[in-house]
Structure 1
Amino acid sequence: MRTILWCLGLCGLLVSAWTQGVTQSFTYQGYLRQGGAPLNNPSQSMRFRIFDVSAGGTALWDSGTLNVNVSNGLFTVQLNPPASIWTGADCYLEIQVGATTLTPRVLIRATPYANTATQLNMFQSGIDNPNRMVITHSPPFTDWGLQYRDTDDSFHFLGAGASRMRIGLSDGRLGVGVAAPTYALDVSGDVRWSGVLQGGSVPWARITGAPSFLGGSGTANRIARFTAANTLGDSVITQSGSNIGINNASPITPLSFPSTLGNKISLWGSNASAHYGFGIQSNLLQIYADQSASDIAFGYGSSDSFTETMRVRGNGRVGIGTNAPTARLHLEFNSNSTANATLRLHETQADFARLEFTNTNTARKWHIAGLIGSTLADDRLNFWNSTAGDIMSIRGDGTVAVKVLEITGADLAEKFPATEALEPGMVVEIDPKVPGHLRKAQGAYNKRVAGVVAGANGLSKGIVLGNLEGSCDHIPIAMSGRVWVYADATHEAIEQGDLLTTSDLPGHAMKASDPSRAHGTVIGKAMTSLEKGKTGMVLVLVNLQ
């Protein structure tokens, strides 16, 4: 087995709680590779020996075979040699993985008295010892790190051998960029701070190397600013209690501006005539974006996590529930119950709430007005014209009153349940097996004929009756008016004006040529013709007889 060991950690002594000494246990960490890949073995056989020479010699201590967990090449093991092997001299750790002994041995450098002391001593005795590095970056960079200087009892943080910061233990002075500070805080270079430097007032401050003092005078409650080099004076900012004024000597709110017209706050943009902000004009508060393609949105959350509820586009469109309004006012809302209206008009008196429509053509106007009365029958939804008055009124009980009713559809139909699938244009009859239900008409001169399924050939229905609860899937059957009907002219042509009855072809109509059988079976009168020998569609004026 070819195995490569990389040492990732140092041997760490485990210090006991008693001052009499320390335990001799230490932890060793390493990294194993086998065949170029990290080794993985939850129970890897390993053995550790300590020697006083780098090669050969007799082991001072042998751990015996240990089962070590190796995960992704990494392992950690606690070793427990006797105290007698630590003499202050360097030792070497030999590692055996399985049957393979790794070379070279790992050097364990001596640290005098480390295994019998409860603290780390820089020196053993005396004063004015030479400077000593406590922490170094690495062997190639021994002049980078933390150094202790015994001559003046100070710690120095070194960079390239130069003292970058000094802390004096005896004089209590801190030097930044100064190796021998003469003040409690001695800094060489620029200084920046945030927060209060000193509570109360500072009449003046001296800057080392400056030709004069930094000082000045100003108005009470004004925030100071540099009015010239080394000179302080008033700024445009005033503080009065907890209120701040900008060009306002007597702020009345936490942030106050002067009572002048124009731009007040710029939130974004460098162009005074095109930016995001707030302004004031005569009797007008302005909120604006920089151009017509920019929008203003209202919502909640934060800029990075924003839930939008309303948007005002630069082109004047307003969207509530949508960020892309396609009209001057565009509302979007999932109104899934009568308690959640998309738009609500509330009249504060016992009167109509009105929605008004006007334009520039005339002074006339339309109102859609709703009234909640004292009873359901008193409720009204009126369509009102300023010249013609009420045109249509819908009562709360469902009654509709209208002066003139014009319907663009072509027939009068009523919804019926069916016992089989029906298509527009089919002739239907009362199902003899299921009273009240309809099916395709079967047989010539059928007295159970009930009408024609409305809506064939795109001819829309005029009035549909029977829109009762549960009737949404019922079929509209034309009982009067014009509809297209499936017709059978196999035996006799159909001419305009012919009476039509049921055919032997299910769901079809044919010419009623036998007057003795026609009574009670006539569907209506043909308005178009169909050649003999063909089947097709015929327009019929429904009039059951």
Structure 2
Amino acid sequence: MLTGSSKHDNAARCGVHGEDHIMVDKTTIGGNGTNGELRVNDAANQSMVNVAVGTNTRRNDAELKIGGQGGRNGLLRVARAKDDLSTTIGDNGMSLVGALSVYNSDRRNPLNINPFGDELKVLMGDTGVAAYLQLTDGSNGPGPIIEVSGKDNAIRTGQPGAKTNTLEIVGKSARISAGGEGTAGRLIANGGDEKARVTLNGADASVRVGGNGSNGTVSVLGADGQPLLELLGRANESVMGLGQKNRPARISLYNAQQRESIKLDAGAGDILLANADAAEMFDVDGPAEPGTVMVISASGTLVAGDRPYDTRVAGIVSGAGTFQPALVLDRRQTEHDRAPIALAGKVYCYADASSAPIQAGDLLTTSATPGHAMRVGESSRALGAVVGKALGSLESGTGLIPVLVGLQ
């Protein structure tokens, strides 16, 4: 039973056994051990609005229910006085059903949730208002786990409290970055079987193409769409292709000083090598430092020459002075020490001018000084013992001189 006091206290009370359970005084319904409930019925006595605490199914929840009986749809509208802006949820006879619009103090609409048929549209942002969405993992750590920013068209993810994001997709600068804060980035493109076909791995700075049942292919195309560079992994061979019609290929290799050391020029049909001689690896016994004149020993290994006009002469150890070998053949491991012996080209050679000065253009042969060459003074003894021709001079003593290698 609802009873009221005098008209002056603006209140109504209902009680059981003398104790108030409902008191309506502008703010309060319920209390004193009883959950509050407010119902607003229509003329047919159907409950159209129900505000309750502690429903039958959820005893600790608060519930607001609008409509649902008598074939009525619910409608909720929140408006400001003397203002046409409002928040509306429900069917008000228009095409909008269940729409939620939130306005800011500038009368802009930065949030709109609106169902259209079988679609649900969530629109964030408005003119001059950038949208920003943050999702956290519920932990106490600072910072969001996922950020969606309309300001720079970006999606970012990271660990709670991290200074940098581990994944960024930024549309404004057309950038995708992965990794950071101790986590190496990795981008994977899978095939239809969900197995990796292309992997970019920041941990070891690698790009892997193929695998998991597929041969990899890397192509670099020209403006006309024709391949200029291709790396092909096939079942029975590995292929690298360079060049295209009217666009000959070239491969250039540079040294530590950024000088071109090797160039393969398909247009000229040429291989250009910056270094000086062609050498081949030989088994050696004893000292064989660059510039040493070597002869063939009885066992077939090379040793430093120590006899004048020795027809067993094999050549000069490459690599002395400023001349380095451009090509070295037969690089492999054996049970002996090995050294590159110049077969053709220019090398620096140890020489001895004690018996006669050496001038540029002189033929050189072996000498009694181990590993040194000397000027040929007796032509009759030089046949088969010439190691090359001097490209520099040595007036006396011993030293390194440039030599054009040529056994004869």
Normalising by the residue count of structure 2, what TM-score does the alignment of the two structures yield?
0.53
Deviations 1:12-67 (A, max 9, x none): xxxxxxxxxxxxxxxxxxxxxxxxxxxxxxxxxxxxxxxxxxxxxxxxxxxxxxxx
| Unmatched runs of 5 consecutive residues or more in structure 1 | 1-180, 187-200, 207-213, 239-244, 279-285, 312-318, 324-330, 334-341, 393-399
Deviations 1:301-358 (A, max 9, x none): xx987443259xxxxxxx94449xxxxxxx813xxxxxxxx44379x999x9563365
> Are 1:222 and 1:236, in contact at CA under 8 Å, matched by a contact in 2?
no
C-alpha deviation, 1:486, in angstroms = 1.4
C-alpha deviation, 1:490, in angstroms = 2.2
Partner of 1:523: 387
C-alpha deviation, 1:413, in angstroms = 0.8
> Are 1:449 and 1:523, in contact at CA under 8 Å, matched by a contact in 2?
yes
Match of 1:381 among 236, 240, 250: 240
**Structure with max Cα Rg:** 1
Pair 1:288-2:170 in alignment: yes
Partner of 2:185: 308
Partner of 1:442: 306
Match of 2:348 among 479, 484, 487: 484
Pair 1:332-2:205 in alignment: yes
The alignment covers a number of residue pairs equal to 288
**Counterpart code for 2:307:** G
**Counterpart code for 2:407:** L
Structure-2 change in CA distance of 1:519 and 1:305 (3 Å): closer
Partner of 1:344: 209
Counterparts of 1:308 and 1:221, CA distance in 2: 52
C-alpha deviation, 1:270, in angstroms = 12
Pair 1:417-2:260 in alignment: no
Counterparts of 2:148 and 2:351, CA distance in 1: 78
Pair 1:426-2:292 in alignment: yes
Match of 1:183 among 27, 32, 37: 32
SS of 1:248 mapped into structure 2: strand
> Are 1:216 and 1:233, in contact at CA under 8 Å, matched by a contact in 2?
no
Deviations 1:226-284 (A, max 9, x none): 6559x98538559xxxxxx952314968x853599996654589996457448xxxxxx
Partner of 1:95: none
> Are 2:148 and 2:155, in contact at CA under 8 Å, matched by a contact in 1?
no
> Are 1:426 and 1:440, in contact at CA under 8 Å, matched by a contact in 2?
yes
Larger RCO, structure (CA 8 Å, separation 6 or more): 2
C-alpha deviation, 1:443, in angstroms = 2.6
> Are 1:385 and 1:391, in contact at CA under 8 Å, matched by a contact in 2?
no
> Are 1:431 and 1:438, in contact at CA under 8 Å, matched by a contact in 2?
yes
C-alpha deviation, 1:535, in angstroms = 1.7
Partner of 1:540: 403
C-alpha deviation, 1:495, in angstroms = 0.5
Counterparts of 2:73 and 2:183, CA distance in 1: 38
Structure-2 change in CA distance of 1:237 and 1:380 (3 Å): same
> Are 2:52 and 2:64, in contact at CA under 8 Å, matched by a contact in 1?
yes
Partner of 1:298: 178
SS of 2:281 mapped into structure 1: strand
SS of 2:341 mapped into structure 1: strand
Structure-2 change in CA distance of 1:428 and 1:249 (3 Å): same
SS of 1:382 mapped into structure 2: strand
Pairs within 5 Å for 1:85-104: none
Match of 1:464 among 289, 304, 328: 328
| Unmatched runs of 5 consecutive residues or more in structure 2 | 1-29, 36-47, 54-62, 90-97, 102-110, 135-143, 157-167, 189-198, 252-263
Note the aligned Cα RMSD (angstroms).
5.5
Percent of pairs identical after alignment? 26
SS of 1:455 mapped into structure 2: coil
**Counterpart code for 1:508:** H
Partner of 1:494: 358
Structure-2 change in CA distance of 1:304 and 1:448 (3 Å): closer
